[in-house]
Chain A
């Protein structure tokens, strides 16, 4: 079974530039998550989709971050404009539906973003 695919693996940009990350979840997984992981910390949820609808985006900095999941499959996360503090690994995860407390989330390898 193919895992969660993310691209690119690495990205270096200058502050105030824009950047986009792409995620393809495991086939059949209705729920998709984007996390931000700053060095030395655990991942923090940015946004959660159920099919193509947003379930939770309470920790997404909406003035600069946006995400979409058209057609309920692939997803893109965009940052515009980027700040130095956005340097982090951006992780995508997916899971099936069902009782959330029992759901297993499957993570991609992440995109490491460096903002200079």
Chain B
């Protein structure tokens, strides 16, 4: 499984945008980029995924670099409820596994 690199932790102010980076320099052409997050005392939850183009949904936006070696999860207005561990995961087209790294701990200050 291709490896991703994320910062250990980040801090944000409430109501401000948050950009969570992920490096995946060994990504292959058919790997999808997935983001999950895990709130305290809960199981992970899906946030967003993409292949090449930028993606938007009700939770977040995913910006994918043109060479696909990095991506950024964008939370447009952070709230206290967004404080969580955010995982960037690469999935092979026919690979079933979600291989979690340590993720980025996001702290949101009021």
Contacts and interface: CB of A to CB of B under 8 A. Distances in A.
Interface of A: 4, 31, 33, 40-45, 48, 55-56, 91, 93, 99-110
Contacts of B99: 45
Contact of B97 (A56, A91, A106, A107): A56
A109 B39 CA distance: 10
B83 to A, nearest CB: 17
Contacts of B36: 105
A105 B102 CA distance: 18
Contact of B100 (A31, A43, A99, A103): A43
Interface hub of B30, B36, B46, B96 (most chain A Cβ within 10 A):
B96
Given A101-B32, A107-B44, A56 B96 contact: yes
Interface in B49-100: 49, 85, 87, 91-100
B110 interface: no
B93 A48 contact: no
Nearest to B98: A105
A107 B84 CA distance: 15
A48 B98 CA distance: 11
24 contacts: A4-B43, A40-B102, A41-B100, A42-B85, A42-B100, A42-B103, A43-B100, A45-B97, A93-B43, A100-B94, A101-B31, A101-B93, A101-B94, A101-B95, A102-B32, A103-B96, A105-B36, A106-B45, A107-B42, A107-B43, A108-B43, A109-B41, A109-B42, A110-B43
